[in-house]
Structure 1
């Protein structure tokens, strides 16, 4: 059983960080260090929950995976360019440590290069959680960042296979036949319904795939990623993704707690951890410059690069293997744990304030943009539409259909997922691709002459951000936004926005619909 005091401490410190405007995960990290020093709880049990959280994370990434995106040069090219720059820089710093810290033993080039490679990866857990919290999981910059993370995971698997004392089982070749199971898995997913069976199906599938890959001497996370990818693009893959979200987030709390249990290194090694954490500032800069070179807008490049700010949990895995093989002193493991934790503390405030930081320096940064932007960064034309629907999910699509019946040709939808926007276009829906949380997009979209804008995004903070910006630029039309809780509804109304509380109004809408149907029936009887 997990120590109740540890759970309460994680909640309390996470709660404090949340109210300080910081991500709660920083509180979990701090709670983990306190618990590790106090020897509170059992590390093996917490590590088990952490492993399950990472497994579910990779499975849900697979559910959203788009292989066409991974094949794009901006994804694999940025991954390789970053690796080729960061590994030598980190190795050089590690090799030069004895010149400044006499107590730190000299390191051979192979060990330094190995640690440099491990520290070149970014944290998948951190990036995905940050994008989810900001409601940007489907945005272009998030898709690019996640594509880079997946490419890094693949490089990690190749490294683990190459450095292991054993090769994958010959039976691993049978895994090439997994795509043949896609129709069966899709069918089972359809039959699982919408309740706990759906949750059990996804959880069991992720665990089963992980166990299968481990039995064949492959990485369990790779199995979860692959089996999730087999379900990607299906009718219920998005519902499964949302269903697993709360469980995944709860288990990932254990991952952040587990980092602190590696303990604190000696004084000199803490200095090494501080030097490594200082080196992390180069990472978003490198990502940014490489992505800009691929003709992406500076905003897209900046948000993707800052999302990839941190060191990865993979560094701890590589260090642990090296310690077991006798290639590294055990103290290096705790040093990397502290460096990773510090990188998370550094990255979190930047990611929390990245939109305001971009707004402040946008005019200077935009001078770096290519004159011929990437096709996915093309200008958006909303035409002569008087009514614009931001977000074409279930609510937005329903609002579009209703309004288009009354004002045909005068309604347009905006959807940040390019594939979904194209599907809607093929279905005859007037829709364009665009990220409405993007200040640049809102400025270029020429919204001044529009009569009504409906903000139907899934994330409340993103809804508020969009409404605030439209107010700031002096939008003179009517604004409406969806909400789910009374305090959210009040906040939107105070911004001068018509707010529709989905939960509060659901009963009213249901009753109204029933009366309309009964009225039609009575009329037909007469």
Structure 2
């Protein structure tokens, strides 16, 4: 993997970003281009590919929360969806085999099941990117989608374990003692600091896990997942995850390049990809939505969750590669899978850019799928006697809440989409409720004549523009305040109907000086002592 490879990968990654696709789509295409130029993968590419997968599995372990399995919508939805797609897809592939179509040359049940199983996965990378960009990572629809994806990832790990061609050695039983070493690992993690030593700790842990599991005859990737789970739940887990994120993305470059270098697309493979995008992907997406509503999830929440899952997955590529290694599917299916993943990302990107607008247009149709039990259990949002609403209870929102509370006492209400944050704040006696400010139905329920001011402290500029637009649509006639980072954002907010926009980069200094003077209890600085 020389500099020319990296330049080609960079070029296609940049091109993908320009059309708002994940860079991995560009990396897959770069692999096909390198293949066409006669390039072949080597040991270095294989090493990068392997460690990309190890990093991916390790970060899955870090994020794993066992309590998410207890939510019927997440656990039941994920398992039922994978089962149905595997059955439906497997049946379709067997039918194609029966008529002798192209790549589906045999009627082998195991082969059809592996192919369909690989296509049942949705992309964790894509969904996380969508929610991060929209500032919705802790919204209910994001929690459901990410929970489903984590369960899918765990199921994939079990598949990798079952796909192992050899029995582990008797020494593998010693791995059962690994939890005893968790306190030691956490102690080292705490002492690793916040910089390069933390990154090195993560990489060294992954290497140790891979070598240890490989030595006892188990898949190295399973070791990475297990060690990630051992470190999960600690206060530094999120920091470690963020520190390793860029390394994971870089090493996965090797994996995606290796897919394109493995084989070139044929006419048959392109026809199958088109069929997958036109037939299987819509069925897969609708099935997510329908199943979630059967588990009594609100129609809007189910709709937004389903759109974020409307793609095939990089984990499906890993499953397909294992199927190829086991001789269950041909290398041509790896090409089909890679093209289908890339194409599904393009489709899902278009859908998710306008996800909230699509819901507004389709909400009457979407609402018909909501169960009566769900409607009965959803309590209408109630602001009580609040005259001031603070939307977004992060650091800026909490500061605004405390400041307004000094003037308005009990008539200030905080609102946040993160239910866990809401519970923590209630424990601190903060007057706060859970609510999604980008849901027009929420505003129709909560707005009352006495509400005079709404302060927007949401994570992204686009979120605040969207909420300002919704407030105009529902006819809110009070004042709207918002925060911004740049002058052009201030102007956009004012043009969107915001009455006052606070630039916290420009005005933080003034706020700092005012805070210090109030803490000192003085309106002016004391005269300095004269020397001499």
TM-score by length of 1: 0.86
Separation (CA, whole Å) in 2 of partners of 1:380 and 1:115:
45
Aligned residue in 2 for 1:509:
511
| 1:361-416 alpha-carbon deviations (Å, 9 max, x no partner) | 10221122122228995433222111112221222122212221222111111122
Flag the 1:475–1:308 CA change in 2: closer, same or farther, 3 A: same
Deviation at 1:428, TM superposition (A): 0.9
1:367 aligns with 368
- Checking the alignment, whether the CA contact within 8 Å between 2:9 and 2:27 is kept in structure 1 is no
| Cα distance between partner residues in 2 of 1:371 and 1:78 | 19
**Residue 161 of structure 2 aligns with which residue?**
161
Give 1:321 deviation, angstroms.
2.8
Aligned residues: 523
Which whole-Å CA distance do the structure 2 matches of 1:368 and 1:472 have between them? 25
CA distance in 1, matches of 2:45, 2:478: 52
Sort the Cα spacing of 1:430 and 1:340 in 2 relative to 1 into closer, same or farther, 3 A: same
Distance in 2, Cα, partners of 1:379 & 1:398: 27
Residue 469 (structure 1) aligns with: 470
Secondary structure at 1:320's aligned position in 2? Answer: helix
Q: Does 1:37 align with 2:39?
A: no
Matched with 2:117 is 117
C-alpha displacement of 1:35: 4.5
Structure 1 pair 491/227, CA: closer, same or farther in 2 (3 Å)?
A: farther
Q: What is the CA RMSD across the aligned residues, in angstroms?
A: 3.4
> Match of 2:409?
408
Summarize the Cα distance change of 1:374–1:168 in structure 2 as closer, same or farther, 3 Å threshold: farther
Distance 1:414 1:93, change over 3 A: same
Aligned-partner Cα distance in 2 for 1:451–1:54 = 52
Q: Which runs of 5+ in 1 are unaligned?
A: none
Matched, 1:144 2:144: yes
Q: Which residue of 2 aligns with 1:88?
A: 87
Pairing 1:382–2:354 present: no
* Displacement after TM superposition at 1:274 (Å): 2.0
SS in 2 for 1:479: strand
- The answer on whether the counterparts of 1:385 and 1:409 sit within 8 Å (CA) in structure 2 is yes
The answer as to whether partners of 2:484 and 2:502 remain within 8 angstroms in 1 is yes
Give the distance between the partners of 1:365 and 1:135, measured in 2 at CA. 24
- 2 CA distance for matches of 1:53 and 1:493? 45
State which structure, 1 or 2, has the greater radius of gyration over its C-alpha atoms: 2
Structure 2 stretches lacking a partner, 5+ long: none
Structure 2 length as normaliser, TM-score?
A: 0.86
Question: Would the alpha carbon gap of residues 67 and 229 (structure 1) be closer, same or farther in structure 2, given more than 3 Å must change?
Answer: same
- Equivalent runs, 1:15-414 vs 2, <5 Å: 15-18=17-20, 26-27=25-26, 29-38=28-37, 55-98=54-97, 102-104=101-103, 105-181=105-181, 183-202=183-202, 204-205=204-205, 208-209=208-209, 212-218=212-218, 220=220, 222-244=222-244, 260-278=260-278, 279-373=280-374, 378-414=379-415
Deviations 1:87-115 (A, max 9, x none): 12111221222455554422312211222
CA distance in 1, matches of 2:216, 2:451: 59
